[in-house]
A and B are shown apart, each in its own frame.
Chain A
Amino acid sequence: MSGNIEPGTTEPENKEPENIEAESTAPGGTGPGNKDSAGPQPEYDASTSETTPDAASGSTDETLNALSKKPKGRRNWLLALIALIVVIAVSAGAWVFSSLRSTPASTGTVAKSVTIGLKLAPTNLDIRNESGSALDQVLIGNVYQGLVARSSENKVVPAIAKSWSKSDDGLTYTFTLNTGMHFSNGDVLDANDVVWSIRELVDKQYTDADVLSTMKSITATDDNTVVITLNKPYSALLWALSGRAGLVFDKDASYDAKTQAVGSGPFLLSSFRQGDSITLTADGKYWGSDKAKTQEIIIRYFADDNAAVNALKSGDVQVLAPITENLASTFSNNDDYVVKAGDDTDKFVLAFNSKGTSTSDKRVRQAIRYAINNEELIAARGGSDAALGGPIPSLDPGYEDLTDLYPYNPTKAKSLLAEAGYSTAKPLTLRFEYANIYGTEIGDQLKSQLKAVGIDLQVNVVEFSAWLQDVYTNKDYDLSLVDHNESHDFYQWADPEYYYNYDNPKVQELYAKALAATSDEEEESLLRQAARLVSEDAPADWLFNYRVTTARVKGLSGFPVNLNQSLLPLWNVTMRNPA
């Protein structure tokens, strides 16, 4: 088969000296004389002598000449052609190689430019309207900054506000801002911009405005102080402000937010090529102490995993996140690369429609949970993901290991199904719809695991937008799978309107109490209780907690490994070329 490829691969080199192919065939061209062309294609001689002895009488001499030359001429011609192609290929290769290497990275120095490979590309830059973690990932902390920020341990840390205090009743938050701040366009950043940004968010109902639904007022008492008052205590306020809700925009700047970004962060957004790349340039006049260490960071997006791996191998990118565990193995065995999995809040939620025709029966839902072998799913993906038994991942408040609630137990699954009235004579058929971004393997694995206990899973892999319509909006499904990657998203289980259709007043009450808690300990303990209740009710199976694998070249440092699909501060990234 590979022999078949070779004629093709040598062709492009022939492009420069086009004469090789062109001359040998001369299609409709000037027509080479008989003597020239007699050599290369001796087959004609046989046919002329066989079929047209009389018609060819005019050229009998040439025919005879050609016949006599045939064996030698053919070999010489072939040899010459092969030699020529080899020479051209080698010289072209050498030329290309040298020209591509003409800008070598000098060794032992810090690189001025670093290229990063990511997967999910944002469609536009409008972080106030467009959902999706791809925007949080590249813009928050790099171009835009929030009132507060998140650390790589998912804790709230200072950003535009250098400190804050909370009143004992949990209703008033006072933020003290840094001084001397400005946006990349030179405009001063003070308390007025903070207040304007958050009021805009609420007034115009931008993405995530609902997290501030308990806010009563926001005021600037002076240029460096912002006071937020609430109608009722809301323990997740600070965390919410570390995301999109707390972002501070320049109230005086006007720009097209879909294609440009003007913020106060350590980087300027210098180019955005949709679906392809984003270029960040260090802002030399950045106000903070976390100044960018690398002059230029290019972020490239790879829809195809193999292309991404090739880019890392060829040195076109210095780091890849995420990389699938199976593809990462080529790098983990190589001393030039470092491969590491980071903690994350991605929950692969296999939701069971709690109001579905058969899944409304708790025994059916429990049976599915017993029938699923989570360890096997994790192993098939390479083994770096973490088992997860409930709705709260380890980086979020209220986490507790709940994996022993529904251990893998097909016998128990079968007996629960029998109790619910299903048997081999009357098997249970379930529709399973999920978006094609998660691949087909996981559907196949679940189908075969559930088949073992007598459930016939009809897998339907669709486009994300079709999933949004069928499952998310119309709630017309039995089973569905989504990677819910956001942190602090327990509200989904306390909202009976959410697509899970899960309605447990006790959980809703506990969650409301947790939000109203005034101390972190109280909040965590209430969330823990609520999460356990949810998991016991089995409205879903949390297949695993996806941990993102990052592969980088050895000289690169400062690239975040934890949470890097939604939080990717790049100011600390440096690339030291190997000496």
Chain B
Amino acid sequence: MLAVVRRLLLFVAALFGMSLLVFAALRILPGDVASVMAGVNATPQRVEALREQLGLNRSIAEQYGSWLGGVLRGDFGTSLLTGRSISAQIGVRSQVTFPLIALGMLIALLIGIPAGCAGALATSRPARQSFRAISIIGGSIPALWGGLLLILLFGRGVGLIGILPSQGFPQQGWQNPLQAVMSLLLPAMTVGIIVAAGIMRYTRSALNEVMGSSFIDMGMACGMTRRQATLRIGLRIIAPQLVSVIGLTLAEMITGVVVVENLFALQGLGSMLITDVGNRDLLTVQSELFLLSAFFLTIGLVVDMLHQLIDPRLRAVKGGIQQ
């Protein structure tokens, strides 16, 4: 219990630190939203008037205070540029990015873990080498290039087997689930293949390490074949490590998919961040970054808790102490 409270306190402290860091870092950027709004035909007086109107003339401390106050009340503010509530905007964009990441991760796991196991279990030299080569090549495909190839293969109206939409997200969004999933398939594959290579590499090397351990010998002594022991005991043992890697990769993917979002003309969180930074809509950017860091920290929290669930040894240790 104490550990959980400490973990949560740490979580809050980290969030507060993030808010300061994000706010300060964004003030270093040159230019401001008023001059972007006014454009290249505006008089300096007009830029000044806009600055006044948008509250950009207030002191830094005052701006930080009012923003943090809003965040504490759960109000992330209204974008200076779009005039919409920032949380609503993030909500809309999340409907693209999070399903994309989930689908990409699913594809990555379906390819990566089996391939990693196969790589670890392969005994002949050429087989091991080719698995290694596949993981290296897969991991080094640039997303842009992989995506273009997939479009050339499967893009509707463009590809050889033109069956999948290659750009855009349906106007109706998730009210039309079939089309929504269809529009995410190609981008998810693009992301998935790259992530799969990483997971494959990780699974293989972690399994290789475990295979030399006494757990496997024990399993085999109890009558399992080497492969059975590896898959049933080895995988179980590396599961916590795998979960950590998956958690980290998920966090990375949120901003990492921006190239893919652009290529497939999807309006996700990554492209939103980049547009807003470009427009110097700092209030929106800092709220976005704040929420994203909260998300990263939450993933860390979830991963920790999953470890407890997956790894009975951790529970056993704790139980021992309690007794």
Given the known A-B contacts A4-B138, A34-B228, A43-B122, are A123 and B82 also in contact in the complex, defined by CB atoms under 8 Å?
yes
Neighbour of A27 across the interface among B84, B113, B162, B166, CB < 8 A:
B113
The smallest beta-carbon distance between A457 and chain B, in angstroms, is: 22
As a 0/1 sequence over residues 16 to 33 of chain B, the CB contacts with chain A under 8 angstroms (1 = contact) are: 000000000000011110
How far is B192's CA from A307's CA once the two chains are assembled, in angstroms? 20
Please indicate the chain B residues that have their CB under 8 angstroms from the CB of A289 in the complex.
Answer: none
A469 touches B31 (CB 8 A): yes
- Whether A28 is near chain B, meaning CB under 8 Å from some CB there, is yes
- Whether B299 is near chain A, meaning CB under 8 Å from some CB there, is no
A9 touches B38 (CB 8 A): no
Please indicate the chain B residues that have their CB under 8 angstroms from the CB of A21 in the complex.
Answer: 110-111, 114
B40 touches A472 (CB 8 A): yes
The smallest beta-carbon distance between A84 and chain B, in angstroms, is: 15
How far is B134's CA from A1's CA once the two chains are assembled, in angstroms? 10
A298 touches B171 (CB 8 A): yes
Please indicate the chain A residues that have their CB under 8 angstroms from the CB of B168 in the complex.
Answer: 300, 307, 311, 316
A52 touches B83 (CB 8 A): no
As a 0/1 sequence over residues 257 to 279 of chain B, the CB contacts with chain A under 8 angstroms (1 = contact) are: 00000111101000110010111
- Whether B225 is near chain A, meaning CB under 8 Å from some CB there, is yes
A464 touches B36 (CB 8 A): yes
B280 touches A484 (CB 8 A): no
Please indicate the chain A residues that have their CB under 8 angstroms from the CB of B81 in the complex.
Answer: 123-124, 130
One of A169-177, A269-277, A515-523 contacting the partner? A269-277
- Whether B217 is near chain A, meaning CB under 8 Å from some CB there, is yes
A residues 81-111 with Cβ under 8 Å of B?
A: 93, 96-97, 99-100
A14 touches B110 (CB 8 A): yes
A468 touches B31 (CB 8 A): yes
Given the known A-B contacts A27-B231, A314-B157, A316-B167, are A8 and B40 also in contact in the complex, defined by CB atoms under 8 Å?
no
As a 0/1 sequence over residues 285 to 323 of chain A, the CB contacts with chain B under 8 angstroms (1 = contact) are: 000000000000010101110111011011110000000
B272 touches A131 (CB 8 A): no
- Whether A26 is near chain B, meaning CB under 8 Å from some CB there, is yes
The smallest beta-carbon distance between B271 and chain A, in angstroms, is: 7
Neighbour of B228 across the interface among A31, A129, A131, A276, CB < 8 A:
A31
As a 0/1 sequence over residues 126 to 145 of chain A, the CB contacts with chain B under 8 angstroms (1 = contact) are: 10011110000000000000
The smallest beta-carbon distance between A53 and chain B, in angstroms, is: 11
A residues 201-253 with Cβ under 8 Å of B?
A: 205, 207-210
- Whether B89 is near chain A, meaning CB under 8 Å from some CB there, is yes
Given the known A-B contacts A5-B153, A303-B271, are A28 and B236 also in contact in the complex, defined by CB atoms under 8 Å?
yes
- Whether A473 is near chain B, meaning CB under 8 Å from some CB there, is yes
Neighbour of A28 across the interface among B47, B121, B235, B272, CB < 8 A:
B235
The smallest beta-carbon distance between A70 and chain B, in angstroms, is: 13
Given the known A-B contacts A34-B225, A303-B262, are A28 and B156 also in contact in the complex, defined by CB atoms under 8 Å?
no
Neighbour of B182 across the interface among A5, A56, A100, A463, CB < 8 A:
A100
Please indicate the chain B residues that have their CB under 8 angstroms from the CB of A100 in the complex.
Answer: 156, 163, 165, 179, 182
A11 touches B110 (CB 8 A): yes
A59 touches B223 (CB 8 A): yes
The smallest beta-carbon distance between B65 and chain A, in angstroms, is: 25
- Whether B232 is near chain A, meaning CB under 8 Å from some CB there, is yes
How far is B277's CA from A464's CA once the two chains are assembled, in angstroms? 11
- Whether B316 is near chain A, meaning CB under 8 Å from some CB there, is no
Neighbour of B265 across the interface among A8, A34, A63, A307, CB < 8 A:
A307
Please indicate the chain A residues that have their CB under 8 angstroms from the CB of B132 in the complex.
Answer: none
- Whether A46 is near chain B, meaning CB under 8 Å from some CB there, is yes
The smallest beta-carbon distance between A336 and chain B, in angstroms, is: 11
How far is B150's CA from A259's CA once the two chains are assembled, in angstroms? 36
The smallest beta-carbon distance between B161 and chain A, in angstroms, is: 7
Given the known A-B contacts A41-B118, A129-B50, A310-B151, are A489 and B157 also in contact in the complex, defined by CB atoms under 8 Å?
no
Neighbour of B225 across the interface among A2, A48, A468, A486, CB < 8 A:
A48
A131 touches B41 (CB 8 A): yes
Closest to A43 in B: B123
The smallest beta-carbon distance between B228 and chain A, in angstroms, is: 7
A residues 116-160 with Cβ under 8 Å of B?
A: 123-124, 126, 129-132
Please indicate the chain B residues that have their CB under 8 angstroms from the CB of A298 in the complex.
Answer: 171
B residues 163-199 with Cβ under 8 Å of A?
A: 163-169, 171, 178-179, 182, 185, 188-189, 192-193, 196
- Whether B320 is near chain A, meaning CB under 8 Å from some CB there, is no
> Which label, helix, strand, loop or mixed, suits the secondary structure of the B interface?
helix
Please indicate the chain A residues that have their CB under 8 angstroms from the CB of B32 in the complex.
Answer: 465, 469
A131 touches B167 (CB 8 A): no
Closest to B265 in A: A307
One of B2-10, B141-149, B247-255, B288-296 contacting the partner? B141-149
Closest to B46 in A: A205
The smallest beta-carbon distance between B42 and chain A, in angstroms, is: 7
- Whether A426 is near chain B, meaning CB under 8 Å from some CB there, is no
- Whether A47 is near chain B, meaning CB under 8 Å from some CB there, is yes
Closest to A464 in B: B278
The smallest beta-carbon distance between A350 and chain B, in angstroms, is: 15
As a 0/1 sequence over residues 213 to 236 of chain B, the CB contacts with chain A under 8 angstroms (1 = contact) are: 000010011010111100110011
A residues 453-483 with Cβ under 8 Å of B?
A: 463-470, 472-473, 482
Please indicate the chain A residues that have their CB under 8 angstroms from the CB of B122 in the complex.
Answer: 43
Instruction: Give the A interface residue count (CB, 8 A).
Output: 91
Given the known A-B contacts A9-B150, A93-B161, are A43 and B121 also in contact in the complex, defined by CB atoms under 8 Å?
yes
The smallest beta-carbon distance between B93 and chain A, in angstroms, is: 9
A5 touches B157 (CB 8 A): no
A residues 42-78 with Cβ under 8 Å of B?
A: 43-44, 46-48, 51-52, 55-56, 58-59, 62-63
Neighbour of A131 across the interface among B37, B146, B221, CB < 8 A:
B37
Please indicate the chain A residues that have their CB under 8 angstroms from the CB of B217 in the complex.
Answer: 55
Please indicate the chain B residues that have their CB under 8 angstroms from the CB of A41 in the complex.
Answer: 118, 121, 227
B220 touches A56 (CB 8 A): yes
Please indicate the chain A residues that have their CB under 8 angstroms from the CB of B31 in the complex.
Answer: 463, 465-469
Neighbour of A259 across the interface among B47, B84, B137, B262, CB < 8 A:
B84
Given the known A-B contacts A259-B82, A314-B162, are A275 and B42 also in contact in the complex, defined by CB atoms under 8 Å?
no
A24 touches B225 (CB 8 A): no
Please indicate the chain A residues that have their CB under 8 angstroms from the CB of B41 in the complex.
Answer: 131, 208, 486, 489
- Whether B39 is near chain A, meaning CB under 8 Å from some CB there, is yes
Please indicate the chain A residues that have their CB under 8 angstroms from the CB of B223 in the complex.
Answer: 58-59
Please indicate the chain B residues that have their CB under 8 angstroms from the CB of A316 in the complex.
Answer: 157, 165, 167-168
How far is B227's CA from A34's CA once the two chains are assembled, in angstroms? 10
B279 touches A276 (CB 8 A): no
The smallest beta-carbon distance between A470 and chain B, in angstroms, is: 7
A11 touches B40 (CB 8 A): no
- Whether B158 is near chain A, meaning CB under 8 Å from some CB there, is yes
A46 touches B123 (CB 8 A): yes
- Give me the 4 closest cross-chain CB pairs, A-B, nearest first: A314-B157, A258-B83, A131-B39, A465-B31
Residues on B facing A (Cβ under 8 Å): 29-32, 35-47, 49-50, 81-84, 89, 92, 106-107, 110-111, 113-115, 117-118, 121-124, 127, 134, 137-138, 141, 146, 148-151, 153-158, 161-169, 171, 178-179, 182, 185, 188-189, 192-193, 196, 217, 220-221, 223, 225-228, 231-232, 235-236, 239, 262-265, 267, 271-272, 275, 277-281
Residues on A facing B (Cβ under 8 Å): 1-2, 4-5, 7-9, 11-12, 14-15, 18, 21, 24-28, 31, 34, 37, 41, 43-44, 46-48, 51-52, 55-56, 58-59, 62-63, 93, 96-97, 99-100, 123-124, 126, 129-132, 205, 207-210, 256-259, 273-277, 279, 298, 300, 302-304, 306-308, 310-311, 313-316, 463-470, 472-473, 482, 484, 486, 489, 497
List 16 A-B residue pairs with CB atoms under 8 Å apart, sorted by A's residue number: A4-B141, A5-B146, A27-B113, A44-B227, A58-B223, A62-B225, A99-B178, A123-B81, A130-B81, A207-B38, A303-B262, A310-B158, A316-B167, A463-B278, A468-B40, A486-B41
Contacts A12-B189, A303-B265, A469-B31 given; 5 further ones with Cβ under 8 A?
Answer: A11-B111, A129-B50, A130-B37, A207-B39, A468-B35
